[in-house]
Amino acid sequence: MSSIAATGKRGFGSFLWDYLTTVDHKKIAHLYIAGGAFFFILGGIEALIIRIQLIKPENDFVSAGFYNEIITMHGTTMIFLAAMPIMIGLMNAAIPLQIGARDVAFPFLNSLSFWLFMFGGLLLNVSFMTGGAPDAGWTNYASLAMNSSGHGVDYYIAGLQIAGAGTLMGGINFLATVVTMRAPGMTYMRMPLFTWASFITSVLILFAFPALTVNLFLLMFDRMFDSAIFDVALGGNTIIYQHLFWIFGHPEVYILILPFFGAFSDIFSTFARKRLFGYTAMVFATMIIAFLGFMVWAHHMFTVGLGPVANSIFSVGTMAIAVPTGIKIFNWLFTMWGGQLKINSAVLWALAFIPSFTIGGMTGVMLGSAVADYQYHDTYFVIGHFHYVIVGGTVFGIFAALHYWWPKMFGRVLNEAMGQVTFWLFFIGFHLTFFIQHFLGLMGMPRRYWVFLKDQGLELGNVISSIGAFFMAAGVIVFVYNIIHSAAKGEKADADPWDARTLEWTVSSPPPYYNFEQLPLVRGLDPLWIEKMEGDGKMSPGEPLDDVHMPNNSFIPFLMGLGFFIAGYGFIHQTDNSLWYIALYGGMAFSIGCMVVRSLKDDYGYYIPKEELQKAVEEEAK
């Protein structure tokens, strides 16, 4: 096993097989990021279709039905299949290294998480080819979802159910990893902020995703098995769907942003060569944001008619979130204050995040005022707001983190000039696209409008917005070229290209498959920096050199994902023809069979002999 990883030249077949069966967190990170990037481009194309349709009034570039499919898939894809996987990919790449662990707590489960996401995402998109994608919006509100003909919404249910199960497992995995696998001396309050934020995010995933699961099941019972939970004519209630959706959906927003709060903290601190300002406050602010994130879901429902008591409580709760978020913004600024900030692509993205996200937070507080929200709600103001938060926060964070950790993940540094071109194109395009949308909303343009009408004063704003979208697309194209370019002839990265502070920069780039020959001994916050200042710049080992236990690769996670994919397809189509029950039961039986095999067949893994590690240690010492 080890010899495969060690030999440089391999055929494509063995390369593919390696990735299909891998349980190594670093390779799973590659898979997550590649899968997420694929869906990001798909979602981006859908975004361009939206902006082309809205470039002029009463346009007929796409039909109403197809437009609704496109907006639904754009939102669903970007949130569940692009932002979340890339985020989990980054967590996979960085967390074990940052806490000084050799892998995550459950490597097999990690692989299963990825394949469930991938097959769920593919199932969702298969709908385009089999009679129509989901068309009830990414929120998929029950009354419209029940009303939607065809199988689109069924694909939404089955696809997200499978992908969501993968995410939930991922969250549990990271919780277990951080709790049990920190290196000697790596106490909780010495963890890098990215790890902290991801840890808190995993708690959010653990509590939020079950609400989504339940909601999708209820909707599935209604649509596929004739129950009447959301059927008003039979005494059902559609408002319950909205509550359940946002009990998941609001924490989901924080799931998307918190890890990047952490990544920005690490990036600012690294490139300003300064310790994070107010570390403790940052940790607790993150916890408070996470906690409040569960208390404010009904601010998405101010216009539902919940009454003044509910609206007031959720108003005040929402505004309160501004306090811990503000603490974070000021702490970032003061991390850089008095430092020596080296500006490169990663830092540019992080810097651009501050004003962009502050605008998103500002409109967030404005939206929190219930009576003001009666005007903003479901208009382009909201579209502007959440793109400022999700693009200005999460997507900027993804770009910053990718530039920052790219050398560590792939052993190559991304081209700096192209990085800056990407940044400026995307940054300008982003503000062009979304700033004007706040005004479009207040000028009377509701969201999810297939066309806007002539002579309503909405032409100019929409043209500007559409032009901006093309700038963003151009930026992404340059970035993709940058990746290809760096893979072919990028500069090789050494272990610590940024003169950084945390443990991931103590191992080679890319790290050996076992990460650490000996787990490092951590002496404080920013352990590498401490060794650079007070020691010889190298971590001292926290354990004697010994054989290292490693898990075996496995093809079972892929097969389980495939089984659920087939079962999902069967669930969707059994309402047409009962022959599809074969796929339903067959797929389920296959996946459960895989579980049984995994449970009953002993797999003890293997050991890397001490001698091999000894050799590696001596190699490094040279």
Partner 1 sequence: MKGWMKNLRTFSILGFLVAILSGCGRDNLTALVPKGYGADISMQLIILTTVIMTAVLIVVLILFVIVIVRFRKKKGDPTINPEQVEGNKLLETVWTIIPIILVIIMAVPTVFATFHLADDKDKDDNINIEITGNQFWWHFDYKDEEISTSQDLYVPVGTKIYLDLISSDVIHSFWVPSISGKLDVNPENTNTMYIEAYEEGVYFGKCAEFCGDSHSLMDFKVVVVSQEEYDQWVEDMQDFDSDDLELADDAAEGEDLFEDKGCLSCHATDNGEYSEGDAPMGPDLTQFGDRSRLAGYLEPTKENLVDWIVDPEELKPGNEMTGKYSPVDEDEAGKIAEYLMELQPSDVTAEGKEEKE
Positions 189 through 218 that interact with partner 1 (CB under 8 A): none
Among 184, 457, 593, 605, binds partner 1 (CB under 8 A): 457
Question: What character string, x for contact with partner 1 (CB under 8 A) and - otherwise, covers 513-552?
Answer: --------------------x-------------------
Binding span for partner 1 by CB under 8 A among 124-132, 388-396, 449-457, 515-523? 449-457
Among 273, 523, 598, 610, binds partner 1 (CB under 8 A): 273
DSSP 446: B
Q: Of the two residues 237 and 420, which places its CB atom closer to partner 1 in the complex?
A: 237
Q: Of the two residues 34 and 322, which places its CB atom closer to partner 1 in the complex?
A: 322
Q: Taking the CA atoms of the chain, what radius of gyration do you get in angstroms?
A: 24
Q: Of the two residues 362 and 596, which places its CB atom closer to partner 1 in the complex?
A: 362
- State how far the Cα of 65 lies from the Cα of 49, in Å rounded to an integer: 13
Binding span for partner 1 by CB under 8 A among 251-259, 322-330, 468-476, 550-558? 322-330
Give the torsion through C-alpha atoms of 551, 556, 562, 566, to 10 deg.
-140
- State how far the Cα of 284 lies from the Cα of 288, in Å rounded to an integer: 6
* Residue among 159, 76, 97 at smallest CA distance from 527: 97
Q: Is 281 in the site for partner 1 (CB under 8 A)?
A: yes
Among 173, 311, 509, 518, binds partner 1 (CB under 8 A): 311
Residue 549, classed as helix, strand or coil, is: strand
Q: Of the two residues 532 and 610, which places its CB atom closer to partner 1 in the complex?
A: 532
Give the pairing of strands 491-492 and 412-413. Answer: antiparallel
- State how far the Cα of 51 lies from the Cα of 56, in Å rounded to an integer: 9
Phi, psi of 494 (to 5 degrees): -90, -175
One DSSP character per residue, 458-506 reads -HHHHHHHHHHHHHHHHHHHHHHHHHHHHHHHPEEP-S-TT---SGGGG
Report the DSSP beta bridge partners of residue 548: 608
- State how far the Cα of 166 lies from the Cα of 584, in Å rounded to an integer: 19
Q: Is 124 in the site for partner 1 (CB under 8 A)?
A: no
Q: Are 92 and 104 in contact (CB under 8 A)?
A: yes
Q: Of the two residues 20 and 239, which places its CB atom closer to partner 1 in the complex?
A: 239
Q: Is 336 in the site for partner 1 (CB under 8 A)?
A: yes
Among 380, 452, 564, 569, binds partner 1 (CB under 8 A): 452
Give the torsion through C-alpha atoms of 493, 494, 500, 506, to 10 deg.
130
Site for partner 1 in 232-271 (CB under 8 A): 232, 236-239
How far apart are the two ends of the chain, measured CA to CA in Å?
Answer: 26
- State how far the Cα of 496 lies from the Cα of 500, in Å rounded to an integer: 6
Site for partner 1 in 60-89 (CB under 8 A): 63-65, 68
Among 1, 131, 147, 234, binds partner 1 (CB under 8 A): 147
Among 221, 294, 424, 439, binds partner 1 (CB under 8 A): 439
- State how far the Cα of 380 lies from the Cα of 439, in Å rounded to an integer: 8
Among 338, 488, 489, 576, binds partner 1 (CB under 8 A): 338
Among 52, 62, 144, 418, binds partner 1 (CB under 8 A): 144
Binding span for partner 1 by CB under 8 A among 5-13, 331-339, 422-430, 571-579? 331-339
Site for partner 1 in 349-388 (CB under 8 A): 351, 354-355, 358-359, 362-363, 365-366, 368-375, 377-379
* Residue among 78, 50, 80 at smallest CA distance from 66: 50
Least separation in angstroms between residue 7's CB and partner 1 is 39
Least separation in angstroms between residue 159's CB and partner 1 is 20
Q: Is 279 in the site for partner 1 (CB under 8 A)?
A: yes
Tokens standing for residue 463: 């043209």
Least separation in angstroms between residue 433's CB and partner 1 is 19
- Number of chain positions touching partner 1 (CB under 8 A): 91
- State how far the Cα of 110 lies from the Cα of 197, in Å rounded to an integer: 19
Among 150, 210, 278, 510, binds partner 1 (CB under 8 A): 278
